[in-house]
Every structure is written in structure tokens, then in C-alpha cells.
Homo-oligomer: A and B are copies of this chain.
Amino acid sequence: MNSSKLPQLYSYWRSSCSYRVRIVLNLKEIDYNTVPIDIFKGGGEQFSDNYRQINPMKKVPALVIDGHTIVESLNIMQYLEETRPQKSLMPLDVLKRAKVREICEMIQSGIQPLQNVGVVSRFENFVKENQESIKLEWAQYWIIQGFTALNEVLTASAGKYCVGDDITLADCCLIPQVYNARKFKVDMQQFPNLSRVATHLENHPAFYAAHPSNQPDCPQEFKTHKI
């Protein structure tokens, strides 16, 4: 396929929501081009008039595919699942499907929004002293709350992966959130079920290729991929 016709992923290397979508694209073996959006440069390229036309929420990722622009990461993942059912990432059983969506939602609504760059930066504005340590405390709190619950859920649901022994959308949400947890210095040993699943996933080629350190817009000093 002519590379100009490939799907275009507007992505930032370290954005966990971009990372989720990259994993799904890789698992489904969909070739795509990355359009890097630097969420820090000049106050954030996602706030430009051009990008606002792509996503009024002024967030990455956005995927241009099939002649349309799809935004909101879980929506993109579900769109890919509906339109590219090869290498399915959703179980057929209705209760297992609910479990996958439950885990995705715990991360996507209960953890990630509270510790993303935009929210933590805004939070910082309200803190008068010890900004760095209080920012860390805020982010860690929400990750630990969410991961404690998730670790409990996995006791019943997990096999090799989050729900049984097949990779699902839940796993595609989990690994980027684990990356964020490490960035915020959360001790992952408190979450044994979650760590065990993560270990199985992180060396999978589709997950490895989607890792922030392996993205074209990753600065040289972060290129050493440490899982």
C-alpha cells in the first residue's frame, strides 16, 4: 500500500492513550504512519487550531482511517475491533466481554484521567508549596487506589492475561498504565497479580513495538527501552 494511504495515528510517544492504540494496531497487524504531536512544545501542539479541527478535545491520540477521523482511545480500539475482527481482542462470552470492559473502564475512567499531563499540570497550579512532591503524591494516590482494586479483580479473572488466557483490550489498557505507574515511582510489587500479567505481556512483540521508547518522536535520551 502507498504509505500516504496508510492510517495516520496522531500520537505522542509518552501518552498512555496513544500507547494503547499503538498496541491494538500492532496486535491486529495494521500498518500505519505516526504523526507526532508534541504535547509540551510551545505550550502543546494539541492546542493548535489545526489539531483542534482533528480533535476538539485537544488530546492525542486521533486515528485517520477509512476516510474518517476517529478520536478517544478506547473508541478507536473498539472501532478497530469492529472493522478489523482479525486477531480479535474481545471474548465471545458476554460475561467475559463485560469483564474486559470493566477493566478497561477502571483504567480509562478511574485512573488515567486523574494522572495525565493536563490534569496534573492544572492541579499543580493550585498547590503553593512542594509542588513536585505533591504532584507525585496526587498521581500515586489514584494509581494505587485503582491498581489495588484491579489487582483484586484479577484474582478471579486472570489467567495468563487480564481475562483468561487470551490477550484482550483490557491488556492493551493495562500495560500503558503500568508504564505510567513506574514513571510516577509506584512500587509494583504491591500488586502481584497485575505484575504477573504485565510480565507476560511486556515482551510480546506488539507491546514491545508500541512502547514509548520505540517511537519515532521519542527523544534520544529515552530511547533505551527499560521495561
Could you tell me which residues of chain A, from 99 to 149, have a CB within 8 Å of some CB in chain B?
101-102, 105-106, 108-110, 112-114, 119, 122-123, 126-128, 134, 138, 141, 146, 148-149
A78 within 8 A of B: yes
A126 pairs with B101, CB closer than 8 A: no
Whether a CB of chain B sits under 8 angstroms from the CB of A75 is yes
Q: Taking the complex as formed, is A58 at the interface, i.e. its CB lies under 8 A from any CB of chain B?
A: yes
Binds B, one of A64-72, A183-191, A207-215: A64-72
Complex formed: what's the CA distance from A116 to B57 in Å?
Answer: 19
A123 near B122 (CB under 8 angstroms)? no
Say whether A196 faces chain B, with CB atoms less than 8 Å apart: no
Checking B68, B71, B126, B146 against A126 with a beta-carbon cut-off of 8 angstroms, the contacting residue is B126
User: Chain B nearest CB: distance from A26 CB in Å?
Assistant: 20
Is A82 interfacial (CB 8 A cutoff)? yes
- Would you call the interface of chain A mostly helix, strand, loop, or mixed? helix
Q: How large is the interface on A (under 10, 10 to 19, 20 to 34, 35 or more residues)?
A: 35 or more
Q: Are B113 and A126 in contact (CB under 8 A)?
A: no
Contacts of A102 in B (CB 8 A): 70-72, 75
Q: State which residues 62-93 of A face B: CB under 8 Å.
A: 68, 70-75, 78-79, 82-83
> Is B106 a contact of A57 with CB atoms below 8 Å?
yes
Asked if A153 is an interface residue, CB under 8 A from chain B, the answer is yes
Q: Most B CB atoms within 10 A — which of A112, A149, A152?
A: A149
Q: Could you say which residues of chain B place their CB within 8 Å of the CB of A97? A: 79, 82
Q: Check: A216 CB closer than 8 A to any chain B CB.
A: no
Inter-chain contact B108/A109, CB cutoff 8 Å: yes
Given pairs A56-B153, A57-B110, A72-B110, 20 additional interface contacts (CB within 8 A): A56-B148, A56-B149, A56-B150, A56-B152, A58-B149, A71-B102, A72-B106, A72-B109, A74-B105, A75-B98, A75-B102, A75-B105, A79-B101, A82-B97, A109-B112, A109-B113, A113-B113, A113-B114, A114-B119, A122-B138
